[in-house]
Structures are given as C-alpha cells and as structure tokens.
Amino acid sequence: MTSIRPKVVAFLGQKGGSGKTTLAVHIAVAAQASGEQVLLVDTDPQASAMAWGEARKNERHLGSPIVLSAAPTQIKEILEAATSDIITLVVIDTAPHADSTAAQAVAEADLVLLPCRPTAFDLKAVGAAIKIAKASKRPSAIILSACPARAPETLEARKALAKHDLLVASMVITDRRAYSRAIASGRSVTEFDPNGRASEEIMLFWEWIKDRIAI
C-alpha cells in the first residue's frame, strides 16, 4: 500500500492573543468530526494546545484529534511518521514569534493561516508573520479573528490588510464568549454549543480551508 502524505495546515502569528491557538484547536476538532484523522502539533513553548488536549483527555471526549508537543525542527520527522500512519491532516500551532523557528514550522504546510485581530497593534504586528509566510512560498491567507460584531473596524482592517497582497479569508471569526468557554472545558464550540453562531463560523472556516487544501 502506498503511503499518502497528510495535508498540513499551520497557524502563524507574531504576537499572543491573535486567536492562533483557539483557531488551531477548533479546526482540528472540526476536521476530526468530518472524518479526518487529525494530529495537532503544538510548537509553542507556552503549550496552550497541549493544556487543552489534557483537559479534553480528562473529560474523556471521543473522536479527539491527537495532540503532540514538538519543536519546529521536528516537524519534518513528524510528517514522515504521519505519512506511514493513518493521519490525514496535521494542524500546527506555532509559537507567537515570527522568526526562523516559525519558518521551519510552516515550511511543509499546504496552507499557512495568519489570524489577525482588527486592532491597530495587531495590524502592525502581522507584517512580520506575512514576511515569513511569503518567504516560505507556501499558500497563505489571513483570517480576521476576535472581531467585534457588526463593527466598522473589521471592514477597515480588511482594507488595511489589502496592501500586503495576501489573500484575506472571506469570513471572519467573531469575538464570542463561547470560544473561551469551550476551550476552558477541553472542548470546541461545535461540541459546547453545536447550534450556536460560533459553531457555524468554525464550520464555515473549515469548509473554506478544505477547498484550499483539496482534502
């Protein structure tokens, strides 16, 4: 039987609080629920995704993605092992520092996603991550996250990001309490409140990602 390399989605960010880990764990769960065999790799020294995974394990959730802590230098080795396993999708949560280690983490990605809040500080900080994404020559896109509901800042942020000549996802992730509440209990919003608006956002985002990585 021929081994098939899993698809790889990497979340990249320059500063903490962009929503990077929140989106990584939510996409991992959404993908697993849709039939993919998911490995979530946490390369952030803060290990927030790993802490979420431990809480999830303690709650005995079924159908969970595998969560693994690793250094960016281990990504290629992990992908080689995943190719010979049953993993179909690897989601990478990078450290909040756009540097050479982040470049190593995204080098093998089929899609690099850059979460960005619609604030002046975040719009300024995202430039460093954009440089790494472009240098990687991997398909990349920005996703506006933690956006105020029905606020003009989101449209203004989209216009500001257009100057970087990088795709900006058509949907946005709204600032909703459901995300933090779900994370705190080791769940995703699709499990915590499956009929809520946050769940709808995540499923739309996952479908958007699927179209771009052809999974």
User: Does the pLDDT of residue 1 top 60, yes or no?
Assistant: no
Segments making up each domain of the chain, as ranges: 7-213
Task: Give the pLDDT confidence of 53-101 residue by residue, as tens digits.
Answer: 998 877 666 678 999 999 989 999 999 999 888 999 999 999 876 566 7
What does the pLDDT read at residue 154? 94
Task: Give the pLDDT confidence of 106-145 residue by residue, as tens digits.
Answer: 999 999 999 999 999 999 999 999 999 999 999 999 999 9
What does the pLDDT read at residue 98? 55
- The contacts found for 194-197 with CB under 8 angstroms, 24 or more apart, are none
What does the pLDDT read at residue 150? 83
User: Does the pLDDT of residue 2 top 70, yes or no?
Assistant: no
Q: For the residues 156-165, what does the mean pLDDT come to?
A: 96
CB burial class (10 A; 0-12, 13-18, 19+) of residue 180? exposed
pTM, two decimal places = 0.94
What does the pLDDT read at residue 62? 63
Closest CA to 67 of 10, 20, 25: 25
Between 184 and 60, the more confident residue is 184
What does the pLDDT read at residue 60? 66
Q: What is the dihedral of CA 124, 164, 92, 2, to 10 degrees?
A: -170
CATH number (3.30.230.10, 3.40.50.300, 3.40.50.1370, 3.30.1300.10) of 7-213 reads 3.40.50.300
Question: What percent of the chain shows pLDDT beyond 70?
Answer: 94
